[in-house]
Each structure stands twice: as C-alpha cells, then as structure tokens.
Amino acid sequence: MRFALRIIFILLLPIVANASELQVREEIENSVKALFISENFELLNSTGSSYLTNQERTSSGLWKLTLFYVGIASIPNSKVIDPEYWSSLKDKAIRWSKVDKNASFAHMVYVDILISEAWMYRGGGVASSVRKEDWQPFREKIEEARQYLLNHDQYKNTDPRWYEKMLTIAKAQSWSTEQFYTLLDEALSVHPKYYELYFRAINYLQPKWHGSAEEIEVFATYAIEKSQAYEGHGMYARIYWYVSQVEYGMALFTESVARWEQMRLGIEDVIKKYPDQWNINNFALFACLAGDNEMTEKLMSMLNDRPIISVWKSGKLYDYCESLGDKKASRLG
C-alpha cells in the first residue's frame, strides 16, 4: 500500500507543477492527507522537509508548508464525540514522531489534534452558546496543547508552525494584548516571511475576539515594517485580503479602516513577484470594490479569457467590475 501511494504521489508531481493555483492546493492537501491516513510517515517527513528547508511556494506565493499542515489538520472531525476516535488520531501522530526524532512535523500535527479535540467540547458557536460543563475540558485540552509545545520548543526556531500554533492557543486562552504581542514579536523576528503568523494575529485582533478594526490597521502597518525586506508593501494587501475572508467580506472598504492607497501599493508589489491568475482575479475585485477605475482596468486587462468563478461569485459582479474599468462588458463562461 505504501509503495502504491509513493507512486501516486510521484505521478502527481508533474500535475501539480503545471496546474492552476487552486489545483496545486488541492493536490498537495489531498496527497499529504492520504499519506497520513496510510501512515507513510517517511514520505511525509521528506515532503515536509523539502517544503520547510527550501521554503517552497505556490505560484501565488503561498507556502507549501502551509498546505502540508492544512491537509493533515483537515482530518480530525470536531463533531465526533468519541474518546477512542481522538485517541487513535493521537496515537498515530505519536507513531509518526518516532520515525525521525529530529523532525517537527508529527509533533505539530499532534498539537493540531489536541486543539481540534478541544473545540469538539466547546463547539463553534459564540461563548454564550457553550454549555457550562464543556468549558473545563476545552480549557484543559488547550492547555495540554500549550504545554506540549513548550515541551517541544526545540522546533520553534526551525518550524514556523510552532509559533503559529502557540498564537492560536493565545487567542483561545484570551492572552492579554501585551502577552500576545510579545509572542508575535518573537515569532516574526525568527520567521518574518511566513504568512500564517500574520494571519493568526488577525484572528486574535478580530472585533469578535480581542481587537477592533482600528487595531487591525495598526497591525497591518506594523506588518509592512516586519516583512518589507521580503515583500515590499505586499503584506498589507495580503493581510486585508485575509481580513475580508474572515471578517468583512465585500464590505471591506466600508466597514474596516483599510487604506486603499496603501493596499494598492501592496497589490502592485505582490503582482510583481507573483503574477498568478488567482492573485490577479482577487486583486481586480478589490480594486473594483474600492472604486479605483484605473487599477480595476489594469488588473482586468491581465486576466485570462475565463475569470476564476470562485472569486467573482456571479457574472453580474464580474460584468460590473469590467464596465467600471471602461472595458466592454462581458459575461462569465
């Protein structure tokens, strides 16, 4: 079985190399998921090591290490209320950790499982919807995950996932802003290129958690300073792209305090480095939402014949944005 999966994974490599951004993401996530389920830990370690050591990215600039972890983290089902189910997942991660004691990957996945198990108790609703008796096991599992990370802090300088998970825990445990930023400053001083650290900061700063629209803007400006040597102004654009996904949606420029002139600079820097159609489609939509006719036209002219439907949601929106850029209106495929 392992040999067969190895062959499948190798055969997928040329597909990934020539696929679209979304296809690449799906292929990587599905491949590592299959390897974990089949316990092909040797290939998981070699794949993770390649992504981590070489800092490999997709054509849009996303770290493949992110997709590696996302693929495996999608396996635990927080709706399953069965102690044996969670024990079996943790046992599998422990078996993986024994294959190569110098590798961080199995340990980071173990923490993912603990956090998912914690949310199984809590549920995904607002705090007021959580049963009183479910708070204690939630907090105990989150604390267990924190202690596990502290017991394996030898990986924090080599694998950014260590800090990413600790930032996730900081949000769940409602750390003070001072405590959170102390951890974040440390994380970004070691791994300033890793996008997920910036995104976990946004999760903490969402108005429904521990921040506000104004605090998000302060952080986005701070993020430029931390990443400018590698991203130019691009991190500002990526941060507000993420903010739109988790908080404001299409109302980004009416409900947040994002500065379009700064985001435009960031978009230009991202496109220079990663002129991928996924980036161009999304940024064209943002330019349209901001009412910037010139930038909308520029980005729309860079699109391939068929726009990415998952970005535009509807043909009417695409037609509107195309007309805003003073181009001939057209319909989706």
**pLDDT digit string, tens, across residues 239-265:** 999 999 999 999 999 999 999 999 999
- Cα separation, 65 vs 85, in Å, equals 26
Tokens of 72: 């495996």
pLDDT at 17 over 80: no
Confidence at residue 130, expressed as pLDDT on a 0 to 100 scale: 75
Q: How far apart are CA 40 and CA 125, in angstroms?
A: 36
Cα torsion 289, 223, 26, 90: sign:
negative
| Phi-psi label, residue 326: left if phi above 0, alpha if psi -120 to 50, beta otherwise | left
Identify the residue with better confidence: 66 or 132.
Answer: 66
Q: What is the pLDDT of residue 325?
A: 62
Percentage of residues of the chain with pLDDT beyond 90: 80
**pLDDT the model gives residue 330:** 41
pLDDT of residue 6: 45
Q: In the predicted model, what is the mean pLDDT of the chain?
A: 91
Contact (CB, 8 A) for 270 and 61: yes
Stretch 276-289: mean pLDDT: 97
Name the one residue in this structure whose structure tokens are 């803007």: 217
Q: How many residues does this entry show for the chain? A: 333
Phi/psi class of residue 308: alpha, beta or left (left: φ > 0; alpha: ψ in -120 to 50)?
A: beta
Residue 285 in contact with residue 321, Cβ under 8 Å? Answer: yes
Minimal CA–CA distance to 232: which of 195, 272, 190?
272
35, 53, 164 from 63: Cα distances, Å:
19, 11, 13
Instruction: Give me 42's structure tokens.
Output: 């040797």
Give the residue among 12, 77, 9, 76 at the shortest CA–CA distance from 44.
Answer: 9
The whole-number average pLDDT for the span 314-330 is: 74
Residue 7 has pLDDT above 70, yes or no: no
DSSP notation for 24-51: HHHHHHHHHHHHHHTT-HHHHHHHHHHH
Q: Each residue of 197-226: pLDDT tens digit?
A: 999 999 999 999 999 999 999 999 999 999
Task: Give the residue carrying structure tokens 């600790």.
Answer: 166
Beta strand ranges found along the chain (DSSP E):
none
Contacts of 224 (CB under 8 A, 6+ apart): 233, 235, 236, 266
Task: Give pLDDT tens digits for 73-129.
Answer: 999 988 888 999 999 999 999 999 999 999 999 999 999 999 999 998 887 777 777
221 Cβ partners below 8 Å, 6+ apart? 236, 262
3-state secondary structure of 86: helix
